[in-house]
Amino acid sequence: MQAALSLAADGLKPVIVERSGAVGGKLRDWHRLFPTMTPAQEVLEEMAGRLEHAGVEVMLHTEVEGIGSKGVTLAEGKTLDAAAVIVASGFDIFDARLKEEYGYHVYDNVYTTVDIERMLNKGHVALHDGSAPRRIAFVHCVGSRDEKVNQRHCSKVCCITGVKQAMEMRELFPEAEIYNFYMDIRMFGPGYEELYQQAQQESGINFIRGRVSEASPTIDGRIQIKAEDTLVGRPMKMTVDMLVLIVGMKAAGGNERLAASCKGVTLAPSGFVAPKDMFAGSVETGAPGVFTAGAATAPKTIGESIAEGAMAAEKVVEYLKKAK
């Protein structure tokens, strides 16, 4: 969205090709954004409003097949002429069912962070039977930093998401015990470390360093989890009412199709689109005229994705001037 806005501001005619029925991507499902707790809807409405005001053409429900020499190939064999392309196709959410040991879609009260965002948006967070949880555990790094599911990379935003949601749970359930099981806590952004400390100190969230090895049902329908409390070197177990899996970002399924269709576009071992280089060419690909913005190349925050949109637009303008 930002890339299109920047291009339109430069007097060019961008077209957004969107697979779903609305622009905004995953942001449409999010409730509040870390670390400021800004409503996601606020950011979305502002961006969408600016798009409309700028008169940017949006093609909804349109699938991209690939990028050819003449432009973008669409699903029905149509071609959209384009002098340059910005790939802003984002990421897929890790399918938590693949971590079978956590029992997602097996036990009733195992949720993902995405489920929690949707529940928060609906204004009703509760257990399967409608009751309030007394004990909640969050599991960090589900589908991140895990060779067992072929996701070796760190998804980077999940740590702060886990902290944010734990604090939201504290607001909703003041009496509940809340535990976050982590391998490392990576608070890379401005205000993140401060939010983490606030979660510990003011919200009383218990952070336990250790990866949950398995979840099993108890006779009363709760969930028993096991981990090592690595800070004291002893195994630990506990029963919880609600288990929240903090799912990571997976490379978008369409990346392979993109790389196959477009000469020069390559993928990193993680499956994300490989940038031309990691520094000055971070929004360029190996294909001239094909640029990237946002989580197509790696897990990113919303702020970072928006910044990359503006940057990619600038690179497009530069590219078009040279091409003339």
Under the rule (CB under 8 A), what is the footprint of other proteins?
A: 177, 185, 197, 200-202, 204, 206, 209, 229, 231-232, 234-239
Smallest separation (angstroms) from other proteins to the CB of 202: 7
Q: What phi, psi does 24 have (nearest 5°)? A: 115, -20
Q: What phi, psi does 312 have (nearest 5°)? A: -65, -40
Q: What phi, psi does 276 have (nearest 5°)? A: -60, -45
C-alpha closest to that of 207 among 186, 189, 223, 188: 186
- Kindly state the tokens that stand for 156: 């980077």
Smallest separation (angstroms) from other proteins to the CB of 224: 8
**Nearest CB to other proteins, comparing residues 114 and 227:** 227
C-alpha closest to that of 5 among 321, 311, 247: 311
**Nearest CB to other proteins, comparing residues 152 and 237:** 237
Smallest separation (angstroms) from other proteins to the CB of 131: 19
C-alpha closest to that of 204 among 161, 246, 242, 173: 173
**Nearest CB to other proteins, comparing residues 181 and 291:** 181
**Nearest CB to other proteins, comparing residues 231 and 278:** 231
Residue 314: CB partners within 8 Å, gap ≥ 6?
6
Smallest separation (angstroms) from other proteins to the CB of 192: 13
**Nearest CB to other proteins, comparing residues 9 and 232:** 232
- Euclidean distance between CA atoms 123 and 140, whole angstroms: 24
- Are residues 119 and 127 in contact, defined by beta-carbon separation less than 8 angstroms? no
- Euclidean distance between CA atoms 91 and 105, whole angstroms: 22
Smallest separation (angstroms) from other proteins to the CB of 273: 35
Smallest separation (angstroms) from other proteins to the CB of 239: 5
- Kindly state the tokens that stand for 9: 């501001």
C-alpha closest to that of 283 among 304, 308, 250, 300: 308
**Nearest CB to other proteins, comparing residues 176 and 307:** 176
**Nearest CB to other proteins, comparing residues 101 and 229:** 229
- Are residues 112 and 244 in contact, defined by beta-carbon separation less than 8 angstroms? yes
Smallest separation (angstroms) from other proteins to the CB of 168: 18
Residues in the chain: 324
